[in-house]
Structure 1
Amino acid sequence: MNRSLPTKPEPPAADAGEASPDPASQEPFLAQLLPRTLLWQTFFLIALLLTLALATWSQIFSHFEEPARARSLAQMVASVVNLTRTALINSEVERRTELLIELAALEGMRIYPAEPSDELEPLPDTRGMQLLTHEVRRQLGTHTRFASRWKTLDGFWVSFRLDPDDDQDFWLMLPSERIEQTGAVEWLIWGGGALLAALIGAYMIVSRIGVPLRNLARSARVVGSGRTPPHLPESGPLEIATVARAFNQMAGDLARTDADRALILAGVSHDLRTPLARLRLGIEMSGAPDTDVRAMVTDVEEMDRIIGQFLDFGRGEPQEPLQIEDLPGLLADLAEPYRLRGIKVRLSAPESLAVPVRTLPLRRAIRNLMDNAVRYAGEANPISLTLSSRGDEALIEVADRGPGIPEADMDRMRHPFTRLETARSNTKGAGLGLAIVERIVASHEGRLELRARSGGGLRAIIHLPREGPTRGRGRLLAADSETGDE
């Protein structure tokens, strides 16, 4: 049995002191801030476009609405100034003070004579205010002045004269709320509500694409693991339905091809093993010298073992249900036949470590690793079989003192039907041993790790989740509950 790895390799384990680079840290900072899924990328883009459209529309509306509003406010200011000037001119001198008090109390307007020492603060330099002051000057005269504060009083201050030929100016203050734009909060609320409704609609539209794509990706991962995915619904938009239909057809074709391959391998294996058994019997009864008989029988056994590898590989992912297994006992049972053959097996395991596993496939995987160790290290060298736990994993390690696999060639050896002839010149077999082990370990949602052994040799480490694979955990719990009910 040759050492090879499956088509889906696990990255080599990093040393304890070596930190593996984080791919995300190598991306630009801006790329890390952006969403990664199609759903949120599209939603973010639509939200950005809607926000920009709303902001642009607001600016356009404001640009064309400001002149009309400025003319309306200027007409109101000019009318108030003209009415106030007329009232002051036509009122009796002794009643002007009473008139000013009434204007301040009822209308919030204040009138003061202008003086050269007045402390003034100009109006904000905005487009709307410029349009307003220009229009007011056009109606009241170029001598009109404006301010946002007179001494310590804030408001909209505008100057006027009782007589155009008079040099004496008066300040008239209008409350700021009469000049400021009203309804801004209402406009903001309505605009935000419209934007929110548009974003909800955009999310619903994008999710109609995102959900089928997530289902497709999930089914593709199922196909990649060697299993048959559930049937995708062929509904929705035409493009999505077409993709789902094509994927269902592809998955069905792959399942039929898998079934045909397993059937062919099983038939070929059965048809070949029968003549091989007759051939071995004939060799043993041929009367040839013992050395020749042993050599030919060894070749027949190797052929039978290769056929077994093809059959194991053709079975696909193990379908055996999970069951709680005491791993120390399982390893002791596996080590005993090798000890009876005179092979030293150093077993190191805790007293008890129960893990949900598929027992027969796992036994086959460990036996493959032990056969590899015996074949490449020789029967004279001991095999180390170690069981330990680390975090939420159970670790089964098979170590030998054979030639090992060079670090540079481990990636190349991750494919089935690949053999390292230079490292192990006496290699025989089809190169499926580690591919079978990897497939069995993957069915447990674990991983197979290969490391060079200090002092020479190879360490093959099986990582198994102590809680069992998630795909079979529900069936295991259901079986346990049924057993408890009985």
Structure 2
Amino acid sequence: MTQKPPPRADFQPSPAGLSERAPRRLAERVLPRTLIGQTFLLIALLLTLALTAWSQIFRHFEDPVRARDLAQMAASVVNLTRTALINADSERRTELLIDLAALEGIRIYPAEASDEILPLADTREMRLLTEEIRRQLGAHTRFAARWKTLDGFWISFRLDPEDTEDFWVMLPSERLKQTRAIEWLTWGGGALLAALLGAYLIVSRISVPLRNLARAARVVGSGRTPPHLPEHGPQEIATVAKAFNQMAGDLARTDADRALILAGVSHDLRTPLARLRLGVEMSGAPETDIAAMVTDVEEMDRIIGQFLDFGRGEPQEPMQSLDLVALVTDLVEPYRLRGIDLRTDLPDRLILAVRGLSLRRALANLIDNAIRYAGDSKPIDLTLTAGNNEVMIEVADRGPGIPESEMDRMRHPFTRLENARSNTKGAGLGLAIVERIIRSHEGRLDLIPRTGGGLRTVLHLPVNKSRSAAARAAGSKETGIAS
């Protein structure tokens, strides 16, 4: 294979390219890949943004109203306290102050020039509140969040507007706090859950038909006829399902017509070939000429058979539990009778669920390829082994082999490697047929260069892990594996 030159040591990726790819890769790793996950995330983000925006709008219009209410309450407390102090007997003022602190949480202290106070927080709510209180009580009103060591909402007032002596009255901070945050969170969370539930119901009406459509498309891709998709639900989904069902029906009819045409071609071509072979054998020509012409007739018959096998599409026969050892033994016996040096390494018994006729056809193609390109005189090795979770069937020859750079191309239909193999006969369908058959078993085909020259073609057939492990635990060469 052609090797790529090593990267230059001084090569550095473009920072712009890295900056563009990094966010994309991060998004692919973080964001959900399913439709329902993406819809959930999008609805959650939109609802969160909507609730945040509405809460800000509500607060913007509610803050002035709330500030007026709180200011009215604070001004009323101050005015009532001032009135009580003015009208109370001087002997009972102390008792009045004690009752206000004990019963209402309102404390009153005379203001002094040396008082240590902490200003209120500079927020929109506090500015609206203080401006409204100052408008009702007078421009001389001061505010504080702490007086000496006592925290609260402190308001200064005077017993008489003409006096210069101030008093501090403290209102409990709890009276000014907004207590509806938990209610907002509760209602917001409930709305989010309701929206996600609705999103799940909406997306499920879309994702379920899409999954069925994807499953049916895979069935069509494998060459089989998919089940009829339901044509109900949203109009767009129903239209897609109806179009898909029509396409699947058209493909099924096309496959039926193709099978009919192939059957007619098989009969119309093979019958004249049989008469031609009979005429050649009875022509009285020299033996070497007869043998050459008979070989050509057989090659044409084999090519017609390959066209028919490839035209049938994916194997339709059901999976059945068969003894692969017996299948391989029956297959190689006619080759040995023809004098082919076909060596086998088989266990005593190996049971696996396979499509028997299709697998037999695939192995016959591999053996025919090995004979055609390696020749009748060179030995061909056929090995059957059971691994941990698969069965491997290997056909190895000593022919010219296939370069590694051409192995993927050789799996395609109508492809031949004439510069690697001396015999250019055939339609180039052998490996394509094997690839299709092994794919119908959910296995794979490996083409591996053989040490010392030649090619190893390995069929990997998956098996049930638990049953294969139980079969291997038998501890003998006889192996039983069932899928």
- Counterpart CA distance in 1 for 2:355 and 2:24 is 41
- Note the alpha carbon deviations across 1:71-91, whole angstroms, 9 max, x for none: 111111111111111111211
Q: Is the 8 A contact 2:143 2:155 kept in 1?
A: yes
What amino acid is the match of 2:427? Answer: A
Give the deviation of 1:360 after TM superposition: 1.7
Partner of 2:328: 331
Q: Aligned AA for 2:317? A: E
**Aligned AA for 2:218?**
R
| Structure 1 counterpart of 2:342 | 345
Q: For residues 408 and 432 of structure 1, what CA distance do their matches in structure 2 show?
A: 19
Other-structure match for 2:193? 196
Q: Which residue of 2 aligns with 1:58?
A: 55
Shift of 1:167: 3.5
State the match for 2:468 in structure 1: none
What are the superposed Cα offsets for residues 105-139 of structure 1, whole Å, 9 maximum, x if unpaired?
22121222334444433333322122112221222
Residue 32 of structure 1 deviates from its aligned partner by: 1.6
The corresponding residue for 1:171 is 168
Pairing partner for 2:368 from 367, 371, 377? 371
Describe the superposition over 1:354-376 as per-residue Cα deviations: whole angstroms up to 9, x where unpaired: 21111121111111111111111
Kindly provide the CA deviation profile for residues 222-256 of structure 1, in whole angstroms up to 9, marking residues without a partner as x. Answer: 11111111111111222221111111111111111
Q: Is the 8 A contact 1:89 1:162 kept in 2?
A: yes
Map of 1:277-356 to 2, 5 A cutoff?
Answer: 277-356=274-353
Match of 1:101 among 88, 98, 103: 98
Cα root mean square deviation, aligned: 2.2
| Cross-structure match for 1:131 | 128
Structure 2 counterparts to residues 129-168 of structure 1, below 5 A:
129-168=126-165
Q: Relative to 1, partners in 2 of residues 1:330 and 1:150: Cα closer, same or farther, differing over 3 Å?
A: farther
**Corresponding residue for residue 74 of structure 2:** 77
Question: Following the alignment from structure 1 to structure 2, what is the Cα–Cα distance between the partners of residues 332 and 171?
Answer: 109
Provide closer, same or farther for how the CA distance between residues 73 and 339 of structure 1 changes in structure 2, counting only shifts above 3 A.
same
CA deviation profile, 1:150-199 (whole Å, cap 9, x unmatched): 34433222222223343433222212221011222112212221232222
For residues 151 and 390 of structure 1, the distance between their equivalents in structure 2, rounded to whole angstroms, comes to 85
- Choose which of 387, 390, 397 in structure 2 pairs with 1:390: 387
Inter-CA distance 39–378: structure 2 relative to 1 (3 Å threshold) = same
SS of 1:88's equivalent in the other structure is helix
Alpha-carbon contact 1:43-1:206 (below 8 Å) kept: no
Which residue number corresponds to residue 28 of structure 1? 25
Structure 1 residue identity aligned to 2:146: R
Partner of 1:18: none
1:83-94 correspondence to structure 2 within 5 Å? 83-94=80-91
Q: CA deviation at 1:98?
A: 0.9
The partner residue of 2:248 within 247, 251, 261 is: 251
> Which of 203, 219, 226 in structure 2 is aligned with 1:206?
203
Q: CA deviation at 1:281?
A: 1.3
| Between 401-410 and 438-447, the greater mean CA deviation after superposition | 401-410
171-180 vs 342-351, which moves further = 342-351
- Is residue 395–residue 463 contact of structure 1 (8 Å, CA) maintained in 2? yes
CA distance in 2, matches of 1:387, 1:25: 48
The TM-score with structure 1 as length reference comes to 0.86
Match of 2:403 among 399, 402, 406: 406
Of structures 1 and 2, the one with the larger relative CO (CA 8 A, separation 6+) is: 1
Q: Could you tell which deviates more after superposition, 258-267 or 206-215?
A: 206-215
Distance 1:347 1:114, change over 3 A: farther
Distance 1:462 1:27 in 2: 39
Judged with a 3 Å threshold, the aligned counterparts in structure 2 of structure 1 residues 378 and 152 are, in CA distance, closer, same or farther, namely farther
The answer to whether the Cα contact below 8 Å between 1:356 and 1:467 also exists between their aligned partners in 2 is no
Give secondary structure in 2 for the equivalent of 1:381. coil
2:412 is equivalent to residue 415 of structure 1: yes
Q: Post-superposition shift, 1:25?
A: 11
Change (3 A) 1:157 1:265: same
Alignment of 1:236 with 2:233, yes or no, is: yes
CA distances 1:53-94 after superposition (whole Å, capped 9, x unpaired): 121111111111111111111111111111111111211111
Give 1:280 deviation, angstroms. 1.0
Following the alignment from structure 2 to structure 1, what is the Cα–Cα distance between the partners of residues 264 and 239? 37
How many residue pairs match? The answer is 445
CA–CA distance in structure 2, aligned partners of residues 401 and 145 of structure 1? 105
Aligned to 2:421: 424
Q: Any conservation in 1 of the 2:373–2:422 contact (CA below 8 Å)?
A: no
**Percent identical across equivalent pairs?**
76
SS of residue matched to 2:151: strand
Q: Any idea what SS the aligned residue of 1:430 has? A: coil
Shift of 1:27: 6.0
Letter of the structure 2 residue corresponding to residue 258 of structure 1: D
In structure 1, what is the Cα distance between the partners aligned to 2:295 and 2:24? 56
Greater CA deviation, 416-425 or 88-97?
Answer: 416-425
Distance 1:89 1:238, change over 3 A: same
Alignment CA distance shift 1:399-1:113 (3 Å): farther
Stretches of structure 1 lacking an aligned partner (at least 5 in a row): 1-23, 469-486
Q: Classify 1:98/1:406 alpha carbon distance in 2 versus 1 (closer, same or farther; 3 Å).
A: same
Quote the Cα distance in structure 1 between the aligned partners of 2:69 and 2:299. Answer: 102
Question: Residue 46 of structure 1: CA displacement?
Answer: 2.7
Q: Return the alpha-carbon distance in structure 1 between the equivalents of residues 109 and 325 of structure 2.
A: 102
* Structure 1 residues 64 and 268: alpha-carbon distance in aligned structure 2, compared to 1, 3 A threshold: same
1:447 to 444, 448, 453: 444
Q: Which residue identity does 1:336 align to in structure 2?
A: E
CA contact (8 A) 1:451 1:459 kept: yes
- 2:385 counterpart SS class: strand
The alignment partner of 2:121 has SS state of coil
Moved more, 82-91 or 346-355: 346-355
